[in-house]
C-alpha cells in the first residue's frame, strides 16, 4: 500500500471521527432542547440580522454564551447552549428588563462560535464613544446633576435645544454608566440608544433636525 493511499485513508478516518463527534454533540443539545421544550437549530438555513446581533457586544455575547440573531420590534430571537447557565440567564433577564420578548433557540457550542464570527463583519450605523468630543467639565457636571434616571434623560432630551443636545447625551451616558452612544437614522426620526452593561438600550426617538445638528458638530471636531 502506497504512502499516498495510507494518507488518504487516515484523512477519511479523521473526517469520519469528526462527523461522529459532531453527531454526538448535536444529539446532546437536541436532547437538552427537548427536555426544556425549546427548539434546536444548526442555523444553516437561518439568516442572522446584524442589527440584532449588535444588541450585545461580542464580549458580552461570549461571556454569557448567548447571541441575538433576529429582531422584530420588541421581539428578539436568541440562541444559547444552555439557558439555565447563570451567566446566560443573567443576560436574558437583562434583555427582558429592557422590554424585549425572547424566543430561545438551543444551539451547539460550535454553532454559537460560528455566530460570533459575524461580529467581525458587523458594522454599527453611527457610533460616538463617550469622551470623544471636547466639552467643558463644568457643563457636564451641571447636566449630570439634572439627570438621575433614564426617564429624566428622556424628558431632558425632548426639552433641550439642538445646540445643547450633545452635552446632555454625553452627560446622561456618564451619569447612568453607558459605554457608548448610538444614533440609528430611520425614515421619520433617529433612534438614540445607549450601551448599558454590554446591551444596547433604546432611550428616545429624535427628530431629524437635532440629529443632523449633532452630526455637524461632531464632524467639525
Q: Do 72 and 161 belong to one domain?
A: no
Q: Tell me, yes or no, whether 23 and 108 share the same domain.
A: yes
> Do 62 and 98 fall within a single domain?
yes
Choosing from 107, 122, 137, the residue where a domain stops is 122
Q: What is the pLDDT of residue 167?
A: 72
Does residue 110 sit in the same domain as residue 186? Answer: no
Print the domain residue range for 47: 1-122
Here the CATH number for the domain that contains residue 143 is: 3.30.450
- Do 62 and 138 lie in one domain? The reply is no
pLDDT at 217: 56
**pLDDT at residue 152, rounded to an integer:** 74
- Report the C-alpha gap between 33 and 94 in whole angstroms: 22
Last residue of a domain, one of 94, 122, 150: 122
Whole-structure pTM value: 0.54
- Given a cut of 70, the residues of the chain with pLDDT beneath it are 1, 3, 5-10, 12-20, 22, 121-146, 148, 150, 157-163, 209-211, 213-221
Sign, CA dihedral 44-46-47-52, equals negative
Domain CATH number, residue 114:
3.30.300.160
Tally of structural domains, the chain? 2
Residues 151, 87 share a domain:
no
Amino acid at each position: 500500500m502506497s504512502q499516498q493511499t495510507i494518507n488518504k485513508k487516515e484523512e477519511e478516518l479523521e473526517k469520519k471521527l469528526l462527523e461522529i463527534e459532531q453527531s454526538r454533540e448535536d444529539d446532546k443539545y437536541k436532547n437538552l432542547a427537548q427536555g426544556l421544550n425549546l427548539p434546536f437549530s444548526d442555523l444553516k438555513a437561518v439568516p442572522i440580522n446584524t442589527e440584532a446581533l449588535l444588541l450585545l457586544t461580542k464580549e458580552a455575547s461570549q461571556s454569557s454564551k448567548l447571541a441575538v440573531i433576529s429582531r422584530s420590534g420588541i421581539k428578539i430571537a436568541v440562541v444559547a447552549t444552555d439557558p439555565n447557565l447563570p451567566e446566560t440567564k443573567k443576560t436574558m433577564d437583562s434583555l427582558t428588563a429592557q422590554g424585549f420578548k425572547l424566543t430561545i433557540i438551543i444551539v451547539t457550542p460550535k454553532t454559537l462560535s460560528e455566530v460570533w464570527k459575524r461580529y467581525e463583519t458587523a458594522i454599527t450605523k453611527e457610533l460616538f464613544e463617550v469622551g470623544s468630543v471636547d466639552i467643558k467639565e463644568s457643563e457636564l457636571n451641571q447636566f449630570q446633576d439634572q439627570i438621575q434616571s433614564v426617564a429624566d434623560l428622556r424628558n431632558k432630551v425632548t426639552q433641550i435645544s439642538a445646540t445643547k443636545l450633545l452635552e446632555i447625551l454625553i452627560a446622561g451616558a456618564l451619569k447612568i454608566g453607558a459605554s457608548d452612544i448610538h444614533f440609528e437614522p430611520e425614515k421619520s426620526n433617529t433612534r438614540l440608544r445607549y450601551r448599558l452593561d454590554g446591551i444596547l438600550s433604546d432611550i428616545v426617538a429624535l427628530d431629524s433636525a437635532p440629529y443632523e445638528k449633532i452630526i455637524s458638530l461632531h464632524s467639525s471636531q
